[in-house]
Amino acid sequence: MALDSKTGTAPRDFKIIGTRPARPDGIDKVTGRARFGADMSAPGMLVGRVLRSPHAHARIKSIDSSAAEALSGVHAVVTRADFPTPEADVADILDNCMAGEKALYDGHAVAAVAAASAAVARQALKLIKVEYEPLPHVIDVDAAMASGAPALHEGRANETVPKGHSPNVMARHAFGHGDIDAGLAQADRVLERSYRTEATHQGYIEPHACLASMGADGQADLWCCTQGHYMVRNTCAAILGITQGQLRVTASEIGGGFGGKTTVFLEPVALMLAKKTGRPVKMVMSRAEVLRATGPTASSSVDIRLGMTSEGRITAGFAELRYQGGAYPGAPVDMGAMSAFAPYDLENVRTIGWDVVTNRPKAAAYRAPGAPMAAFAVESAIDELARDLGLDPLEVRLKNAAREGTRASYGPTYPAIGLEATLRTARDHPHWSAPLGPNQGRGVACGFWFNFGGDTCVSLNITPDGTVNLSEGNPDIGGSRASMSMMAAEELGIPYDKVRTVIADTGSLGQNEVTDGSRVTFAVGLATIEAARAAKREMCKRAAQVWGIDEEAVIWEDGAARPSGPNAGEHPPMTLAEIAAIASNTGGPIAGHHEVNAEGAGVSFATHMVDTEVDPDTGAVTILRYTVFQDAGKAVHPSYVEGQFQGGSVQGIGWALNEEYIYDDDGILQNAGFLDYRIPVASDLPMIDTVILEIPNPGHPYGVRGVGETSIVPPLAAIANAVSASIGTRMNDLPMSPPKVLAAIQAR
Amino acid sequence: MSKIHVTTTINGDPVDYLCDAGESLLDVLRDRLGMTGSKEGCGTGDCGACSVTVDGRLVCSCLMLGAEAEGREIATIEGMADGETLHPLQRKFIEHAALQCGICTPGILVAAQSLLERNPDPTEEETRYWLAGNLCRCTGYDKIIRAVLDAAKEMREAP
């Protein structure tokens, strides 16, 4: 994708891009009118509930649902036996939604019921008799890799895994270039360290919810909170054995996702219950179900070897990463291994990632999946080595920073990137030189994320009164409808409030990738701009027709068609509204659309700086000050860019300090609620300061890069570096909860 | 199981309903009265998304029984705006981009209104502690706190 043909990404005088208008869904969301997943009802609706395994690992010997089915008010019970044998690409997804031969984790769905009320449904679940044969289980990633560990699946390892490994090892990924041993030999100091992070949950406040209906003719409708209703359609159709065209999915407003709503849990079950009962079925998870059975991220165990010269040049970087991704293959260790050293220009770099299964819920994507744990290890090691050598950790990062032309540790060569800009801005920021008090420390860390484009489809329609409706297919998870309206208005040269953007259902647009990979403002924005350009071409053609001149002699400027060139003649400009008003007489309705597999998503870098204070008596950590420096390419709506920086940072603060999945000896999750799985609250935090840098992405007409995910990558290490500086000893295991910090203080 | 007949006032309107003895006020609001502005994020009083006021006191409606609303004055997010005029807090939340997904917003607005009724000039720290019972996972709270402080300022300066 070339630069904007007229102006490129050189500084351009935008009228709307870069301003901060009110979002189109704002009033609905502050008045309670916005309809989220659980807010929809249907006439004759039944309530669906799920029975879940109380065992971490057990063979399901039999399920007897006769007593439940006999209960008054129960309309259907569904087990795995009701589903057709799945194709391989959805087999694990179905097995995660409804267990087959084995329950693989505490909370794994084993049956579901549809009943006239929630009270009857609850009662019915108690009447379903499941005979389990409990099996040995494994929770920890290193334990799962040990020989003799209880095996979840036999013979599932792919061809990348050398013989002799535990059957829980599913895949091995390797990246890098150069010669690690030779690089380490050139170092003045070599550091070898191990790091651990615990599983954390995305923690969206809205539990999963859906409302399904399905007729005997196979036509089905589904309303649900999801990051991608096209993904829901395709996955559910495959699981139920119906065609994609028969299933229409409408995305509700979504109450947070962060990657956790990029797969299905309830939806195929609700559809099957709707099919069996002939009635609409609504299913809503409890918070405990969300924590027990939906996507946490992987926990990790990482070994680093890093060599540095006394001047601070990194001579070699090696990382071996072991991630457990729950009960099925697919831990995001490949992306951890790719991103670990991505911020640095290294001659010798190698990463190896091991994808391991354990008796935990299947990991789902979580904001830059796999990258924060890898960055935690690498950025901690760089910090420790720099401080050991008496070097400034920011200068060491600048000395090794990747820039345009650097061969990335995962393969490609970078185009224009913003890492150096974030580091220089951080170094020159007053935060870096502000004084610190006793028990206080300052940490910095860098982070990287790939960003993504993917299949995208938008339709832009000009109404007869000259306003614009934009239909796109990506659930708006943080203000993206505002950004789309802004890009359409900018391109068309009309006011922002003349454009209304809606999220279309799956029957109204072609395939759209999920709202993930920080792709929406980039890819949907790109498609929106192209759709607006198509509409402009059509409007120029209509004006040419009215003026009786060649359409090549008409240009679009400031919201109007204008004659241009020597032979165009003198004609007053025709505005969008004027052209729209006579569209019926000049050929019919006017629209623009664009369908693309968007390429050219620009990679994104950030540097985070944080000050912490540690209470030496309790080990409690306070975040005193936090500043984010990140390259946005071009900030379309700066408030929502800042919001992404702030939100990702605070999720990182939770991951670093508080959040973890805690299991007992039987593999049962001990903290399946927001009281004990404690995410940051307002009183834990200071303001999160942000500095938006704009190094244009050459792959987008306005220079936009994704901004959503990078912000969760640096905080783990930045905070660990700050806490380590505060207490004078390294913290290499997350979370840095008070007991752990206190133990570290006492052991120093 | 026989149901309980409850007569109450919600956002100034007289309301009566039948509910089960074990049904929460939140379930009554959402499932019986169709008032889905209050959200269930946890059902255990930890997230604040279901915040309402009862006789002026801020409560999690998931922790109160529907039957306990008898004779009380309930206020929910649906009653915050005056017709088409938004409450200053609602306006400032939009202006400051203090919401991303918006699921926690109704509860936070109800809680913030309750704060400003008691303390029209809260400090940042007082605001953070008052809102510590309302979880937001998207924003990191920064813009929420700014919006509340800005709304408080505007309300203090209003004639």
The domain that holds A251 is classified in CATH as: 3.90.1170.50
Do you find a cis peptide bond into A735, omega within 30 degrees of 0?
yes
**DSSP letters spanning A587-611:** TS-EEEEEEEEE--PPPEEEEEEEE
CA of residue A325 relative to chain centroid, distance: 16
Tell me if A100 is assigned to some domain: yes
Q: Do A205 and B80 touch (CB under 8 A)?
A: no
Phi, psi of B16 (to 5 degrees): -135, 150
Tokens of A22: 């009110």
What percentage of chain B has pLDDT greater than the value 90?
97
Residues A318 and A259 in one domain: no
How many CA atoms within 13 Å lie on the side-chain side of A622?
13
How close is the nearest chain B Cα to the Cα of A26, in Å?
A: 6
**How many residues make up chain A in this entry?**
748
Beta-carbon neighbour count of residue A131 at 10 Å?
11
Beta-carbon neighbour count of residue A174 at 10 Å?
12
Residues A389 and A361 in one domain: yes
Tell me if A339 is assigned to some domain: yes
CA dihedral defined by A487, A488, A492, A497, rounded to 10 degrees? -100
Q: Do A477 and B101 touch (CB under 8 A)?
A: yes
The whole domain housing B67 covers 4-79
Tokens of A240: 């139920």
Tokens of A474: 């990506």
Phi, psi of B33 (to 5 degrees): -105, -5
Tell me if A667 is assigned to some domain: yes
Residue A8 pLDDT:
43
Q: Is A508 helix (H, G, I), strand (E, B) or coil?
A: coil
Tokens of B112: 């913030």
Residues A584 and A491 in one domain: yes
Residues A642 and A725 in one domain: yes
Pick the last residue of a domain from A573, A598, A623: A598
A257 contacts on B by Cβ (under 8 Å): 101
CA dihedral defined by A281, A286, A290, A292, rounded to 10 degrees? -110
Q: Do A639 and B143 touch (CB under 8 A)?
A: yes
Tell me if A156 is assigned to some domain: no
Distance (Å, rounded) from C-alpha A79 to C-alpha A693?
A: 52
Q: Do A643 and B20 touch (CB under 8 A)?
A: no
Residue A11 pLDDT:
61
User: Residue range B46-58: average pLDDT?
Assistant: 98
Which amino acid does the sequence have at A279?
A: R
Q: Is A3 helix (H, G, I), strand (E, B) or coil?
A: coil
Residues A265 and A327 in one domain: no
Q: Do B38 and A32 touch (CB under 8 A)?
A: yes
The whole domain housing A257 covers 48-135+208-284
Instruction: Please return the burial class of A154, using the count of CB atoms within 10 Å of its CB with bins 0-12, 13-18 and 19+.
Output: exposed
Q: Is A247 helix (H, G, I), strand (E, B) or coil?
A: strand
Nearest Cα neighbor of A291 from A680, A672, A676, A674 is A672
The Cα-based distances of A659 to A561, A678, A737, B128 in angstroms read 56, 6, 9, 20
Q: Do B44 and A674 touch (CB under 8 A)?
A: yes
Divide the 748 residues of chain A into consecutive groups of 10 and give the mean pLDDT of each group.
41 91 98 98 98 98 98 98 97 98 98 97 98 98 98 95 96 98 98 98 98 94 98 98 97 98 98 98 98 97 98 98 98 98 98 98 98 98 98 98 97 96 98 98 98 97 98 96 98 98 98 96 98 98 97 96 91 97 98 97 97 98 98 98 98 98 98 98 98 96 96 98 98 98 96
CATH number (domain holding residue A343) = 3.30.365.10
Residues A472 and A611 in one domain: no
Beta-carbon neighbour count of residue A739 at 10 Å?
10
What percentage of chain B has pLDDT greater than the value 70?
99
How close is the nearest chain B Cα to the Cα of A680, in Å?
A: 8
B140 contacts on A by Cβ (under 8 Å): 643, 646-647, 649-650, 680, 685, 688
Distance (Å, rounded) from C-alpha A265 to C-alpha A392?
A: 48
Q: Among partner residues A22, A119, A640, which is closest to B95 by beta-carbon distance? A: A22
**DSSP letters spanning A380-416:** HHHHHHHHHTT--HHHHHHHHB--TTPBPTTSPBP-S
Residue A468 pLDDT:
98
Tokens of A469: 């409706």
Nearest Cα neighbor of A632 from A682, A693, A584, A583 is A693
The predicted complex's ipTM stands at 0.98
- H-only helix segments in A186-255: 229-240
Tell me if A198 is assigned to some domain: no
How close is the nearest chain B Cα to the Cα of A637, in Å?
A: 10
CA dihedral defined by A511, A516, A518, A519, rounded to 10 degrees? -10
CATH number (domain holding residue B105) = 1.10.150.120
Each residue of A399-431: pLDDT tens digit?
999 999 999 999 999 999 999 999 999 999 999
Tokens 């007569």 belong to residue: B7
Instruction: Please return the burial class of A633, using the count of CB atoms within 10 Å of its CB with bins 0-12, 13-18 and 19+.
Output: buried
Q: Contact at 8 Å (CB) between A21 and A486?
A: yes
Tokens of A294: 């939906």
How close is the nearest chain B Cα to the Cα of A254, in Å?
A: 6
- H-only helix segments in A516-625: 525-547, 576-581
Number of domains in chain A: 3
Residues B74 and B9 in one domain: yes
**Residue of chain B whose Cα is closest to the Cα of A290:** B42
Residues B117 and B61 in one domain: no
Distance (Å, rounded) from C-alpha A632 to C-alpha A645?
A: 10
Distance (Å, rounded) from C-alpha A428 to C-alpha A401?
A: 17
Residues B45 and B13 in one domain: yes
Q: Among partner residues A26, A205, A637, which is closest to B94 by beta-carbon distance? A: A26
Interface probe for B, chosen from A23, A25, A28, A31 (most Cβ of B below 10 Å), is A31
Q: Among partner residues A30, A204, A205, which is closest to B90 by beta-carbon distance? A: A30
Instruction: Please return the burial class of A569, using the count of CB atoms within 10 Å of its CB with bins 0-12, 13-18 and 19+.
Output: exposed
Q: Contact at 8 Å (CB) between A209 and A224?
A: yes
Tell me if A169 is assigned to some domain: no
Nearest Cα neighbor of A584 from A554, A544, A552, A542 is A542
Residue A568 pLDDT:
87
Residues B103 and B147 in one domain: yes
**Residue of chain A whose Cα is closest to the Cα of B88:** A30
Residue A227 pLDDT:
98
Residues B93 and B44 in one domain: no
Distance (Å, rounded) from C-alpha A43 to C-alpha A706?
A: 41
Residues A593 and A516 in one domain: yes
Tokens of A532: 């607006």
Residues A539 and A581 in one domain: yes
Instruction: Please return the burial class of A424, using the count of CB atoms within 10 Å of its CB with bins 0-12, 13-18 and 19+.
Output: middle
Distance (Å, rounded) from C-alpha B69 to C-alpha A296?
A: 38
Residues B63 and B11 in one domain: yes
Residues B75 and B134 in one domain: no
Pick the last residue of a domain from A598, A626, A646: A598
Which bin fits A18, alpha (ψ -120 to 50), beta or left (φ > 0)? left
Residues B66 and B107 in one domain: no
Residue A565 pLDDT:
86
Strands of the A574-575 sheet, one edge to the other: A554-557, A560-563, A574-575
Residues B12 and B71 in one domain: yes
Tokens of A159: 């061809």
Q: Contact at 8 Å (CB) between A640 and A665?
A: no
pTM above 0.95, yes or no: yes
Pick the last residue of a domain from A577, A598, A619: A598
Contact pairs from chain A to chain B, CB under 8 Å? 186
Number of domains in chain B: 2
Residues B101 and B132 in one domain: yes
How close is the nearest chain B Cα to the Cα of A258, in Å?
A: 9
Residues A388 and A255 in one domain: no
List A610's β-bridge partners, or say none.
Answer: A443, A626
Tell me if A202 is assigned to some domain: no
Distance (Å, rounded) from C-alpha B60 to C-alpha B38?
A: 10
Beta-carbon neighbour count of residue A664 at 10 Å?
11
- Kindly indicate the confidence band of residue B1, based on its pLDDT and cuts at 50, 70 and 90: low
Tell me if A630 is assigned to some domain: yes
Residues A632 and A644 in one domain: yes
CATH number (domain holding residue B71) = 3.10.20.30
Distance (Å, rounded) from C-alpha A528 to C-alpha A485?
A: 9
